Amino acid sequence: MRIIPAIDIIDGKCVRLTQGDYKKVKVYRDDPVEVAKEFEAADLEYLHLVDLDGAKKGKVVNWKVIESIQAETALKVDFGGGVKTDGEVEELLELGIDQINIGSLAIKDPNKFIGFLQKYGSENFVLSADVKNEWIQLVGWTEASTTTIYDLTARFEKEGLQYITCTDINTDGMLQGPNFGLYKKLKKRFPKLKITASGGISSVMDLKELKYINIYGAIVGKAIYENKINLWELKKI
């Protein structure tokens, strides 16, 4: 199982939200690049990088941070946050971003996302599905949709989708454990997809349970910043 530490950015700083609420933001570090370097120094290979400003505005905002992390680390970065255009996709891929997360666009303009999968290769994209009670949420979790996680996933699996990251908003930032039931359902319905769990991971035991149910990857955020899990424990898993 891939262990993927997370960096969320607002105003160029490393932050975490609680349950996706922009009014409940906590700044942990002023320099996300230094945080990324610490992850790399702990022998971690991957990074989940989210431009929360971009997610809200519908376009990538924190280009400077992205460029610096790419230039100063060898981490394999999956990036999300407002990606909507071919120009943004091409610039991110040229910078060496490993995968691009597509969220709101997949609901609002599914044909555009299908076009990305076909034009640039499905291996370069992750369907970023943020859910609340199994319903998809949009625009940095500020809008609800009328589509379930299962309907959305099924639609794009037919178009060659390989990767999905599912964030359970109810558990995100709460440090009370992930929604194991949700991931078991996804795994059962879509056994061929590479599913990454996000939201609520608070302990090594949570990670071991996700590994046991054969989840492809696990994103760890607040548990690192609140010292519930240290970086060396992550590497061991």
In the residue annotation, 130 being an active-site residue is answered as yes
Check 130, 168, 172, 206 and give the catalytic one. 130
Distance of alpha carbon 95 from alpha carbon 73, whole angstroms: 12
Alpha-helix residue ranges (DSSP H) falling in the chain: 32-41, 52-57, 63-72, 86-95, 104-108, 110-120, 149-157, 180-189, 204-212, 222-225, 231-236
Cβ distance 4 to 47 under 8 Å? Answer: yes
Check 8, 51, 168, 172 and give the catalytic one. 8
Cβ distance 159 to 39 under 8 Å? Answer: no
3-class state of residue 209 by DSSP: helix
Q: Report which of 209, 207, 204 is spatially closest to residue 228, judged by C-alpha positions.
A: 204
Cβ distance 10 to 17 under 8 Å? Answer: no
The first and second tokens of residue 227, run together, are: 């010292």
Catalytic residues: 8, 130
